[in-house]
Structure 1
C-alpha cells in the first residue's frame, strides 16, 4: 500500500518545484516560460515516471544508457528525453536507436563525442539532435566537461563540423556541496558571453543548463534556462540498482 503514497508525493513535489521555479524566474525578471525543468528520473521505476507524466510534465532526464533504453520504450512517445552527463562513445548508437524521441544530449565534452554523435545521427537518418556543451566550471578532476578556456573552440567544432547536431547551449555540474555554486554559474555565464561574441550569436540562442535539486532557484536567478531536478521530485535515489553508463 506504500507505493501510491510515494507516487502521490512525487506529483506534489513536482508542483512545489514548478511553483519555486516561477518565483525564482520572477525574482530574476524573466518569464518562467523560458525555464525548462528536466525531471531527472535515473534509478526510478517506470510507474513513478508515469505518475509525473500523467500530472502533465513532459521533460525527463536519464544518466545511464542501459537503464534509459529499457525504460523509454515503456513510456509515451511525446516525452522530451534528455541524456545528462558524460556519454561514452561506444554507447551512442544504442542510445540513439533505443530512444528515438531523445531530444537533447546534455554533455558533449569533447570533439570525439561530438563526431561520434554526428555520425550516429546521420546514419540513423533522424532529425538533428540538440546538444549542450558541458563545461567543467569547478575544475574538479572527477568532473567531465571541457575547460572553460576550450569552450569556444568546442562550440565552434559542433557548429561548423557537425551539421546533424544543433548546438543549443552550455551546461555545468557544480560541486556537490554547493560551496562554489555562484562562481561556477558565473563562469558558465561568462563562457556564454565569449561563445556568442566569437560566433556572432545572440545570447538567447545559447541556453544555460545549470542548477539541480539543491540550487536550482539560485541558478534561475543567475540566468539558467534549464534546470535538472531529480531527488527533490522523485525522492532519494536507489543506487543499488544503478546501471553502468
Structure 2
C-alpha cells in the first residue's frame, strides 16, 4: 500500500473530532509531500535538527508538532516555528521556553508529557512531580498549556487500555480543576499500533508514523 492508501484507511478509523498527526521523522520531504497532497497539514518531528531542515524546505502552511524530547539548549532554534510542543516534561524546560518566547513577545502552545508507565528509558514527567510543574505553568504568560501527552510502554491490548484510561482520568481531573493558564484541549496518545484503542479511551490527537509512511529508515 502506498502513502495515500494508508491515509485513506486510517481516516476510516478516526472520528472527525480526532486530530491526525503524520509523524515524519526519518522520512523525506518527497514522502511528506505525498501526505500533504492527501490533505495532511499536521506533521510531527522528534529531533530539532531534522525538523529545522524540513521547516526550511517544506510547505509553509503546515502545522509542525514537536513530539520528541526537547533539550533545553535546543529551544532557541524552534521559537516561532512550532504549532504545538507535545513534550514539556520539566520545570527547567518550561522556564527556558517562557524566557525565549517572552523575549520575542510571542506565545507557544504546549502539552505536558506524562511518563505514565514510569519507564526509565522514556522522557515525560512522573505523576508525583506533576503538581510542581503545574504550579510553574500557572505563573507563565507566554507558554500556554493545552493538554497532556504520553508514550505508553509496549504491551498488549489490556495494558494499553490501562495506561490510556489512566491518562483520560488525569485529563478529566485537570480539566475540572480550572487551573490558571492550563486548558485541557488535547489528549495526545496513541500511535500506529494502538491508535484505535487510544481513541476508544479518549484520545483526540493521535500520532501515526509507520502506519502512514511505512518502516523508518534510521540509516540515512
Q: Normalised by the shorter chain, which TM-score bucket? A: over 0.9
Structure 1 segments, 4+ long, off by >4 Å, are none
Q: 1:102 is matched with which residue?
A: 82
- More moved, 66-75 vs 171-180: 171-180
**Structure 2 vs 1, CA of residues 74 and 199 (structure 1 numbering), >3 Å: closer, same or farther?**
same
Q: Is the 8 Å Cα contact of residues 85 and 110 (structure 2) preserved in structure 1?
A: yes
TM (normalized to structure 1)? 0.83
Q: How many residues align?
A: 218
Report the CA distance between 1:71 and its aligned residue: 0.9
Name the counterpart of 2:208: 229
Paired residue for 1:28?
Answer: none
The partner residue of 1:135 within 107, 114, 130 is 114
1:33, CA displacement in angstroms? Answer: 2.6
Deviations 1:68-102 (A, max 9, x none): 10111111111011000210000111122xxx441
| TM-aligned CA deviation for residue 186 of structure 1 | 1.5
Once residues 92 and 81 of structure 2 are traced to their aligned partners in structure 1, the CA distance between those partners, rounded to angstroms, is 23
Q: Give the CA deviation at 1:146.
A: 1.0
Contact 2:147 2:183 in 1 (8 A): no
Contact 2:145/2:183, CA 8 A, preserved across alignment:
no
Q: How far did 1:110 drift?
A: 0.8
Corresponding residue SS for 1:205: strand
Alignment RMSD, CA only? 1.9
Distance 1:83 1:134 in 2: 12
Q: In 1, Cα distance between the equivalents of 2:207 and 2:51?
A: 16
Unpaired segments of 5 or more residues in structure 1? 1-7, 22-31
TM-score by length of 2: 0.92
**Equivalent residues of 1:77, 1:101 under 8 A apart:** no
- In structure 2, stretches of 5+ residues that fail to align are none
The answer on whether the counterparts of 1:156 and 1:199 sit within 8 Å (CA) in structure 2 is no
